[in-house]
Amino acid sequence: MIKKSFLIFCTLVSFLILGCQSEHIKGFIVFGKWDGVYVAKKDDPFVLNFILLSDSPLTNVTSIDFPEISHAIEDMQYDLIEGDKYKDFQLFNIAVNLRLQEVSSAILSKITLIFDQKYKETFPIGQIKLAVDEKGIFTPQNEYVTAYPNTQFFQAKLKNISNHTIQIKGVTVENTYLQTKDVKINDKSEKRSVSPNETINMYFTLAEKAEQNAHFYIVTPKIEYELAGKASSTYIDPVFYGMTNLTKEKLDDILKQN
Amino acid sequence: MKNLHLFFLFFILVFISPISSLAQKPQGDDSDCVVCGEATYKVTKISGPSLVTEKFQTYLTSAWAYSDRYVWSETTTTTLQITGGATFDITEAIKNQLNLSWSKSKSYSVAIQIPADKNKYSKLGLFGDFNKYYVKVVKDKFGQETTSHHDAYEPTSTHYLKVVYKN
């Protein structure tokens, strides 16, 4: 009887110690939530940023993984970048460069951190849709804003690099919480045709679809067009919103969502 | 002993006095003045503020490069800009008398990576929204007035990172 009790006691103590150890290794970590659409092009790596707050220095993070696409990752490099301190927490960015074996549509909603090559913990990161596109039809001219502070608007000069005159039918975004409003091409709202090598000025504002929102956005505008009577679409380069504007309110909101 | 005192006085008159007057001589544009002193500035706002969006501030990378991404690791800071060949004194006068902000930097920062088209020459640039004022500055130096006009761009907290392509 004593032997049995001793065994139960030892087991309980072991569980307690292991539990505490695991908690000690992980500490408190919370990621900012994304609402993003990123277009995968063959042979082009993805550039993604995952901003998080942690109460520990994360020196024991030995690798990372994306469980939803881990089978398709051909090459992955990441940098764990330390930023400013906020309250009792340290700001970090896990900046990731991903190259996939095959380009296919997927959704990233989780990131796994591996501590000391042993312990894994998976965290929600909102949602980033990976879309597929062949070579784009429009390319940025002169300057291209890649980081806007807030979701106020999008503006770009774009050149038609195809050999065809295309009829633009509309411009949309595929984000969960955002939609385009007041789309203008060369200051006009009507549909228009764009000749090869012609440069257009595209402008639109962004409106939130619901009360819910994300901390950071990747907006990849989708141009719907018609070529020789056939409807098609193409994406233009991704744009980040909200990452260069880490206010106290935003960081408090990230902490609150945990 | 009396001779020694006389020599000491002579030494002070000949050597120390010119050195001390040289040390007091103002530098810069006052070096040729007959009666030296500080100029005063009167700044009058003629128009503004009007919002100027996405105004260029600086390049964050030095050379043109075929790069597939940029790492932006500095605290974004935009600063007060005054056009029309404003001197440091004029800039200070405009800033203080119109109560303008010298700079606007972000509250919290962590480095981020930004994608770029690797097939084109590019640089990373910092742009910002500014409040623009058109101002008149009257410099008064002992009754002699000089008037100049300037555009003053006061920084706001709205910053943009742009990949600038060499087409």
pLDDT tens digits, one per residue of A102-135:
767 889 999 999 999 989 999 999 999 988 777 7
| B16 located within any domain | no
Please tell me if residue A57 touches chain B, with a CB cutoff of 8 Å.
Answer: no
| B4 located within any domain | no
Q: Which tokens hold the place of B143?
A: 């009754």
The domains of chain A, with CATH numbers, are 29-132+245-252 (2.60.40), 134-241 (2.60.40.10)
What is the residue range of B124's domain?
38-163
| B29 located within any domain | no
Please tell me if residue B167 touches chain A, with a CB cutoff of 8 Å.
Answer: yes
Q: How many structural domains compose chain B? A: 1
Q: How far is A167 from chain B (nearest CA, A)?
A: 25
Q: How far is B70 from chain A (nearest CA, A)?
A: 10
CB-CB neighbors (< 8 A) of A87 in chain B: none
Return the pLDDT at A26.
62
- Name the 3-class secondary structure at A149: coil
CB-CB neighbors (< 8 A) of B109 in chain A: 83-84, 91, 246
Number of H helices, E strands in chain B: 3, 9
Please tell me if residue A53 touches chain B, with a CB cutoff of 8 Å.
Answer: no
| B130 located within any domain | yes
Please tell me if residue A45 touches chain B, with a CB cutoff of 8 Å.
Answer: yes
Mutate to test the interface with B, among A82, A143, A251 (most CBs of B within 10 A): A143
| B23 located within any domain | no
Which pairs with CB-CB distance under 8 Å and at least 24 residues apart come from B79-84? B79/B103, B79/B155, B80/B152, B80/B153, B80/B154, B80/B155, B81/B130, B81/B152, B81/B153, B82/B150, B82/B151, B82/B152, B82/B153, B83/B150, B83/B151, B83/B152, B83/B153, B84/B148, B84/B149, B84/B150, B84/B151
How many Å is the Cα radius of gyration of chain A?
Answer: 23
* pLDDT tens string A158-203: 999 999 999 999 999 999 999 999 999 998 887 789 999 999 999 9
Environment class of B19 (CB within 10 Å of its CB; exposed 0-12, middle 13-18, buried 19+): exposed
Question: B48 in the Ramachandran plot: left (φ > 0), alpha (ψ -120 to 50) or beta?
Answer: left
Mutate to test the interface with B, among A144, A153, A203 (most CBs of B within 10 A): A144
| B61 located within any domain | yes
Please tell me if residue A42 touches chain B, with a CB cutoff of 8 Å.
Answer: no
| B3 located within any domain | no
Give the mean model confidence (pLDDT) for residues A34-43: 84
| B77 located within any domain | yes
* pLDDT tens string B58-103: 898 889 999 989 988 766 678 899 998 888 999 999 999 999 988 8
CB contact under 8 A, A143 and B115: no
CB contact under 8 A, B162 and A144: yes
Residues 6 or more apart from A141 whose CB is under 8 A from it?
A157, A158, A159, A199, B165, B167
